Amino acid sequence: YLRNRNFEEAGAVLNRLDSLKDIPPERQLDILNAQGAYYIVKGNNSKAIGFYREIERLASSVSRKPRMPNIYYAIALAYDRMNLPDSVIYYAQKSINSINDSLLNKYDYHHLYAYLGSKALKQKLYPLAAQTYKEAFQLLMNSVERKTEKQILQLEKKYDISLAQIDSLRQRQRYQ
């Protein structure tokens, strides 16, 4: 409902979900995340932060861990909307610090570094800005390289299939 900008229905669903008892912890995290997003969209950033902080609190008690870099980034964005730059920097750094190697290889997080770089630059934290912009650039280059390699492999596979089809057609042509 949030994606379709149907906020009344989204709020009603979240209220119904909030009243349910015995929700598994993993589902509880999903509901909290949706509630955080709902209140961000509605402009109630402090309430959204409360839901995201609850995710942070519960994250260690579930088997399927939430992507904490995204949660901390959402908190940083909310603080940014509230014009609290020190909190923005703190949570933007926390989002980067929570990236582990398995996440780094699976998702593109260069935007988190660029975000921290831009906020650090605004705060005149030049060494931090320079370092995070450098890391953002490196991650972006790695991402482009990974995607390019994947596209090359796909093209090679298509080329190999095309060659096999051509060979097959040549064989048929010989026997006709």
Of residues 17, 123, 108, 101, the one with CA closest to residue 70? 108
Distance CA 119, CA 88 (A): 8
Mean pLDDT of 19-47: 85
What's the distance, CA 15 to chain centroid? Answer: 25
C-beta of residue 65 within 8 angstroms of C-beta of residue 56: no
Distance CA 131, CA 92 (A): 14
The most confident of the ranges 39-48, 101-110, 122-131, 147-156 is 122-131
Tell me the pLDDT band of 21, cut-offs 50, 70 and 90: confident
The owner of tokens 């309430």 is: 47
pLDDT in tens, 161-172: 777 777 777 777
Measured CA angle at 95 (ends 124, 47), to 5 deg: 95
pLDDT in tens, 114-170: 999 999 999 999 999 999 999 999 888 888 888 888 788 787 777 777 777 777 777
The structure's pTM equals 0.75
Distance CA 128, CA 115 (A): 12
Tell me the pLDDT band of 80, cut-offs 50, 70 and 90: very high
